[in-house]
């Protein structure tokens, strides 16, 4: 800073860094955001929750955005006088810590807890309104003890179980993944292509809750973004159809297939089994076995995405066997083909080539018959190669002939039910949640495996099963859990029979940890259970949740599932945990996600050093609607800083010119109207989460105050003070440091964060006159200043009397639309 500037430095100089140092210390003493032990019930409660961070180094731009936006909501709740719970914790189990530990020959906890400290300090500097007494870490034994406790309750209820089967395996992270963690055939974490492996793993029976997860979304309509609800609906993928039993020649048990189009049963001309389904290997004829085995080996290399691609040429092998169509007794060849997945329905389908494109592609590739059974009026699929999936009258279908789709489905289900060869059925895309992970830094699964007793739960009083002290090389991925190598830890007595037994060596998916953390925040040190049931009754459910859309079907689905199970256990009285959800966008740079390889990363610490916390936060909030991505190249933290300096000077100058307590009624009326109008608008904008527009209104107010001080009633006018005080309070949601200092300059004790939201006076929102637009044929031809409560008749007369309007009229108007007091449209 130049000497000149130093000399200019006066009471009104805005120095963000100095304010940060000053107020961070003061806030530590004041602790303005401590939640009451229980909400009083009088003024209402608000549980405001940000998705808790993973401690991967210091906070970054993405965190800065979520928490800036979440904090606007939280601080608004505080200002409105609610009892607010705004907690913070860390999702502190997970792979990056483990990988860092391997590289540094250290323990994952060292890296994890060091990063948590760094982030905690950054949060404090960033001025987020957390109640720090709520702080929790999912990797604390005091926390994961209860994750284990919950697992055991799920186990008791049959909601946690072990089964063998094909699972998604990430060859890079050397662990299995849940379906939700496979995105486009790749590992959601690291992007490696996922392969299939046959393994015995632990699952949560989320499919038992599929219907409730679907139905309870009705509660979330309007509170959650539609697209997240749609994504969850798609993910659950409920479809209605029928299970149809097909006899396979030479097999005692019939094979059930699921179809959404049982009405087309007469059009089934062949039968397809997933090559990786056990059924295929079982029924393949001796002559075809060799061909089948080599085909199966090929298919094993493919991802589901490849298999389902409509682009890909159809492949398959005839299994040398025939299935019998239950309605017409036809023999249909049984094929194995990769376009049928082993986990869809029952791993086998009836193929109706005329009315399903993939079946048709397959039929054409292998010269199988195509039979039209729905008359859609479109050309024969056998000729065109285009399947007809639409509605129409059934043909070649015995008793179904002439019926439409809906009727035919009803009828065929009736027929099948009578014969005992089928029934109406519902199918889901959702699969059970695979929760085992072959990694170290997670919550151990509290199960002991005993040769005699089988899976034996660790008794509650022995919880937590703590992690052994492994570090460095011992954690290197080898395809089995690192825990397996900790022999002292693994070998235990069976809790049931006392014989030799082994601990389960897998750890839980970290999404288990985060599926219930919001419940523990009400008392993170609670020792009589995972959470204080009574406190959750009072604080829950979460009124506003803020976080990224990347969890649309991961964390959010799992948490909803947990909540429902806990509801069934009588531990929570609500069935949906998050009443309202706000998905903020990403912070990108020059059109692309920030990444090391692109070299377009922006460092949050540097931005804060350069512009100050308030300016960075303001930039995040002002950039656009909260759901939109922010391209850092399109926004200007420098401009934010400039505005804050302007706003600060207004507050400081006002504070220097007057003291609190003046009679506002004596203030400049025009300015007062502006102030109250802005307050009214900002209030509504906050309620509807249009924070960027709210900031624009604060800018207008600042400009109005500037003008009033410079060339209006002057800084000492009570209206200026009223406006400056309102500005300080509203600004505190976005720029807490500048607002706090401004509030102090205005002569008020800290903290501005709890000063109370300004209330717009109705009387001051009424305009003396409004501008009425007079249109002729929809084009503006004149403007009239009229009273806001002018009658339609008076307004019409006034408009028709206008000289300027009459110039555009040649005779009596055909029609006059009057929307008093703002518009008249004359149709000539």
Region from 216-224, 626-634, 654-662, 727-735 binding RNA, contact rule CB under 7 A: 626-634
Is there a contact between 251 and 245 (Cβ–Cβ < 8 Å)?
A: no
Nearer to RNA by Cβ, of 170 and 818: the residue is 818
Among 34, 106, 120, 231, binds RNA (CB under 7 A): 231
CB of 39 to RNA, least distance (A): 33
Asked if 118 interacts with RNA (CB under 7 A), we say no
Q: Does 235 bind RNA (CB under 7 A)?
A: yes
Please provide the distance, in angstroms rounded to a whole number, between the alpha carbons at the two ends of the chain.
67
Looking at residue 57, what DSSP letter applies? Answer: S
Quick check: 149 binds RNA (CB under 7 A)?
no
The residue (of 358 and 520) whose beta carbon lies closer to RNA is 358
Q: Which of 28, 156, 198, 226 binds RNA (CB under 7 A)?
A: 226
Under the binding rule (CB under 7 A), the answer on residue 628 touching RNA is yes
Q: Does 623 participate in binding RNA (rule CB under 7 A)?
A: yes
Residue 16 Cβ, how far from RNA at the closest point, in Å?
13
Least CB distance from residue 329 to RNA, whole Å? Answer: 31
Which member of 245, 631, 761, 794 binds RNA (CB under 7 A)?
631
Confirm or reject binding of residue 590 to RNA (CB under 7 A): no
Q: Is 766 in the site for RNA (CB under 7 A)?
A: no
Closest CB to RNA among 494 and 645? 645
Q: Which of 643, 737, 743, 757 binds RNA (CB under 7 A)?
A: 643
Query: What is the closest distance, in whole angstroms, from the C-beta atom of residue 650 to RNA in the complex?
Result: 9
Stretches 295-303, 312-320, 404-412, 699-707: which one binds RNA (CB under 7 A)?
699-707
Token pair for residue 364? 């054409």
Does residue 238 bind RNA (CB under 7 A)?
Answer: no
What pairing do the DSSP bridges indicate for beta strands 195-204 and 348-351?
A: unpaired
The answer to whether the beta carbons of residues 166 and 276 sit under 8 Å apart is: yes
Examine residue 636 and tell whether it contacts RNA (CB under 7 A). yes
By C-beta, is 419 or 707 nearer to RNA?
707
Q: Is 574 in the site for RNA (CB under 7 A)?
A: no
Closest CA to 116 of 67, 65, 58, 63: 58
140 makes contact with RNA (CB under 7 A) = no
∠ CA 292-294-298, nearest 5°, is 110
User: Apex CA 513: angle with CA 512 and CA 516, to 5°?
Assistant: 90
The region of 28-36, 231-239, 665-673, 757-765 touching RNA under the rule CB under 7 A is: 231-239
Whether the CB-CB separation of 458 and 465 falls below 8 Å is answered with yes
Under 8 Å CB-to-CB from 346, ≥6 apart: which residues? 243, 255, 256, 257, 258
> In sequence order, which residues have a C-beta less than 8 Å from that of residue 218 and are 6 or more positions away?
none
Stretch that binds RNA, among 403-411, 452-460, 635-643, 737-745 (CB under 7 A): 635-643
Cβ within 8 Å of residue 379, ≥6 positions away? 386
Residue 562: its H or E element: helix 555-568
Pick from 237, 404, 468, 529 the residue near RNA by CB under 7 A.
Answer: 237
Is 610 among the residues that bind RNA (CB under 7 A)? Answer: no
Cβ partners under 8 Å of residue 638, min gap 6: 611, 615
| Residues 130 and 86 sit within 8 Å (Cβ to Cβ) | yes
Instruction: Please select the residue that binds RNA; options are 135, 411, 646, 748, rule is CB under 7 A.
Output: 646
Find the shortest distance in angstroms from Cβ 382 to RNA: 19
Dihedral of alpha carbons 514, 520, 526, 531, sign: negative
CA–CA gap between residue 641 and residue 650 (Å, rounded): 14
Q: Which of 174, 775, 796, 802 binds RNA (CB under 7 A)?
A: 775
| Interface residue with RNA, options 124, 197, 642, 684 (CB under 7 A) | 642
Select the residue interacting with RNA from 314, 706, 748, 754 (CB under 7 A).
Answer: 706
Instruction: Please state the closest distance from residue 344 (CB atom) to RNA, in A.
Output: 9
Q: Within 157-225, where are the H helices?
A: 210-215
Identify which range of 294-302, 457-465, 599-607, 771-779 contacts RNA by CB under 7 A: 771-779
Of the candidate spans 102-110, 227-235, 754-762, 802-810, the one that interacts with RNA by CB under 7 A turns out to be: 227-235
Residues in the chain: 828
Q: How far apart are CA 772 and CA 33, in angstroms?
A: 47
Of these, 158, 661, 778, 811, which contacts RNA (CB under 7 A)? 778
Q: How far is the CB of 465 from RNA (least distance, A)?
A: 34
Give φ, ψ of 25 to 5 degrees.
Answer: -65, -45
The backbone torsions φ and ψ at residue 257, rounded to the nearest 5 degrees and listed phi first, read: -120, 150
Is 684 a residue that touches RNA (CB under 7 A)? no
Give least dist CB 583 to RNA, A.
Answer: 10
According to DSSP, the β-strands at 331-337 and 270-273 are parallel
Candidates 48-56, 574-582, 696-704, 737-745; binding stretch for RNA (CB under 7 A):
696-704
Q: Residue 707, interface with RNA (CB under 7 A)?
A: yes
**Residue 42 burial class via C-beta count within 10 angstroms: exposed 0-12, middle 13-18, buried 19 and up:** exposed
The Cα–Cα gap between 315 and 241 comes to 27
> Sign of torsion, CA 303 304 310 316?
positive
Q: Which of 780, 793, 797, 801 is in the footprint of RNA by CB under 7 A?
A: 780
* Cross-strand bridge partners of residue 593: 588
Kindly state the smallest distance separating residue 185's Cβ from RNA, in Å.
10
Rg (CA), the chain: 34
Q: Which of residues 157, 163, 478, 822 is near RNA by CB under 7 A?
A: 822
Residue 260 in the binding site for RNA (CB under 7 A): no
Long-range contacts from 598-604, C-beta under 8 angstroms, 24+ separation: 602/61, 602/632, 603/60, 604/58, 604/59, 604/60, 604/61, 604/63, 604/64, 604/122
| Rounded Cα distance, 449 and 656, in Å | 75
> Smallest distance from the beta carbon of 308 to RNA, in angstroms?
5
Site for RNA in 455-514 (CB under 7 A): none
Axis-axis angle for helices 613-622, 691-711 (nearest 10): 120
Interface stretch with RNA, choices 264-272, 622-630, 738-746, 790-798 (CB under 7 A):
622-630
| Nearer to RNA (CB atom), residue 773 or residue 809 | 773
Asked if 164 contacts 436 with a C-beta cutoff of 8 angstroms, the reply is no
Are the beta carbons of 647 and 724 closer than 8 angstroms?
Answer: no
Contact 65, 785 (CB under 8 A): no
Q: Least Å distance between CB 37 and RNA?
A: 39
Exactly one of 31, 121, 234, 462 binds RNA (CB under 7 A); which one? 234
Q: Binding site annotation covers 502? A: no
- CB of residue 380 vs RNA: minimum separation in angstroms? 19
Element (H, E) at 6: helix 3-8
The 173-212 contact track toward RNA, x by CB under 7 A, reads ----------x-----------------------------
What are the strands, taking DSSP E only, across 260-416? 270-273, 316-324, 331-337, 348-351, 374-375, 393-394
Among 474, 699, 716, 809, binds RNA (CB under 7 A): 699
Name the binding residues for ATP: 596
Positions that interact with RNA (CB under 7 A): 2, 4-5, 183, 226-227, 230-231, 234-235, 237, 308, 310, 429, 552-553, 622-625, 628, 631, 634-636, 638-639, 642-643, 645-646, 690, 692-693, 695-697, 699-700, 703, 706-707, 771, 773, 775, 777-778, 780, 783, 815, 817, 819, 822-823, 825, 827
């Amino acid at each position: 800073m130049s000497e000149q500037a130093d000399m200019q430095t006066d009471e009104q100089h805005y120095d963000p860094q100095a304010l940060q140092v000053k107020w961070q210390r003061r806030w530590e003493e004041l602790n303005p955001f401590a939640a009451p032990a229980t909400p009083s019930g009088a003024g209402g409660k608000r549980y405001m929750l940000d998705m808790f961070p993973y401690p991967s180094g210091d906070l970054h731009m993405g965190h800065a955005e979520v928490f800036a936006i979440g904090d606007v909501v939280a601080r608004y709740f505080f200002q409105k006088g609610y009892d607010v719970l705004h907690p913070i914790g860390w999702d502190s189990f997970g792979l990056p810590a483990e990988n860092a530990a391997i590289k540094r020959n250290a323990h994952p906890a060292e890296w994890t807890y060091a990063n948590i400290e760094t982030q905690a300090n950054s949060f404090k500097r960033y001025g987020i309104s957390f109640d720090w007494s709520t702080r929790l870490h999912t990797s604390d034994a005091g926390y994961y003890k209860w994750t284990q406790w919950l697992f055991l309750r799920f186990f008791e209820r049959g909601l946690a179980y072990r089964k063998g089967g094909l699972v998604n395996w990430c060859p890079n992270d050397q662990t299995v993944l849940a379906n939700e963690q496979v995105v486009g055939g790749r590992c959601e974490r690291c992007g490696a292509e996922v392969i299939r492996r046959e393994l015995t793993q632990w699952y949560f029976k989320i499919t038992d809750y599929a219907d409730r997860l679907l139905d309870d979304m009705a509660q979330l309509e309007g509170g959650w973004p539609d697209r997240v609800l749609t994504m969850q609906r798609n993910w659950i993928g409920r479809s209605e159809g029928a299970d149809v039993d097909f006899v396979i020649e030479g097999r005692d048990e019939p094979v059930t297939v699921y179809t959404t189009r049982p009405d087309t049963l007469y059009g089934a001309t062949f039968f397809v089994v997933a090559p990786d389904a056990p059924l295929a290997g079982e029924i393949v004829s001796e002559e075809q076995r060799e061909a089948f085995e080599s085909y199966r080996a090929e298919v094993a290399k493919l991802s589901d995405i490849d298999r389902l691609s409509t682009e890909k040429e159809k492949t398959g092998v005839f299994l040398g066997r025939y299935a019998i169509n239950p309605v017409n007794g036809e023999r249909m060849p049984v094929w194995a083909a990769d376009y049928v997945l082993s986990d869809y329905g029952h791993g086998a389908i009836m193929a109706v080539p005329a009315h399903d494109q993939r079946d048709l592609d397959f039929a054409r590739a292998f010269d199988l018959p195509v039979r039209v059974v729905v008359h859609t009026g479109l050309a024969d699929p056998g000729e065109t190669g285009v399947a007809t999936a639409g509605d129409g009258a059934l043909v070649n279908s015995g008793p179904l002939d002439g019926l439409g789709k809906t009727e035919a489905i009803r009828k065929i289900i009736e027929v099948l039910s009578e014969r005992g060869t089928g029934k109406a059925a519902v199918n889901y895309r959702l699969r059970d949640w695979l929760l085992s992970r072959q990694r170290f830094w997670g919550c151990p699964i509290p199960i002991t495996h005993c040769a005699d007793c089988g899976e034996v739960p660790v008794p509650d009083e022995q919880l937590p099963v703590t992690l052994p002290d492994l570090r460095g090389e011992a954690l290197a991925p080898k395809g089995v859990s690192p825990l397996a190598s900790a022999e002292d830890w693994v070998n235990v007595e069976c809790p049931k029979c006392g014989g030799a037994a082994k601990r389960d060596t897998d750890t839980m998916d970290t999404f288990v940890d985060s599926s219930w953390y919001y419940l523990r925040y009400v008392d993170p040190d609670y020792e009589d259970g995972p959470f204080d049931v009574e406190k959750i009754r009072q604080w829950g459910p979460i009124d506003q949740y803020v976080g990224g859309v990347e969890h649309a079907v991961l964390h959010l689905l799992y948490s909803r599932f947990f909540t429902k199970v806990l509801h069934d256990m009588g531990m929570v009285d609500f069935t949906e945990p998050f009443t309202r959800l706000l998905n903020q966008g990403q912070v990108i740079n020059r059109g692309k996600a920030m990444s090391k390889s692109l070299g377009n990363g922006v460092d949050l610490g540097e931005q804060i050093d350069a512009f100050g916390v308030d300016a960075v936060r303001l930039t995040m909030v002002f950039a656009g609607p909260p759901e939109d991505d922010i391209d850092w190249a399109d926004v200007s933290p420098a401009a934010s800083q400039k505005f804050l300096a302007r706003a600060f000077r207004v507050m400081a100058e006002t504070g220097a010119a007057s003291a609190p307590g003046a009679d506002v009624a004596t203030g400049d009326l025009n300015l007062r109207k502006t102030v109250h109008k802005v307050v009214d608008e900002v209030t509504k904008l906050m309620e509807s989460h249009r924070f960027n527009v709210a900031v624009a209104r604060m800018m207008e107010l600042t400009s109005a105050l500037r003008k009033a001080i410079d060339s209006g009633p002057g800084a000492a006018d009570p209206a200026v003070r009223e406006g400056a005080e309102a500005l300080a309070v509203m600004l505190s949601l976005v720029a807490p440091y500048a607002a706090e200092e401004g509030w102090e300059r205005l002569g008020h004790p800290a903290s501005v964060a709890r000063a109370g939201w300004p209330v717009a006076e109705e009387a001051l929102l009424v305009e003396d006159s409004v501008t009425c637009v007079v249109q002729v044929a929809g084009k503006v031809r004149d403007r009239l200043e009229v009273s806001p409560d002018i009658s339609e008749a008076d307004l019409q007369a006034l408009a028709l009397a206008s000289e300027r309007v009459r110039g555009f009229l040649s005779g009596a108007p055909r029609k006059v639309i009057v929307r008093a007091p703002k518009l008249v449209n004359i149709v000539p």
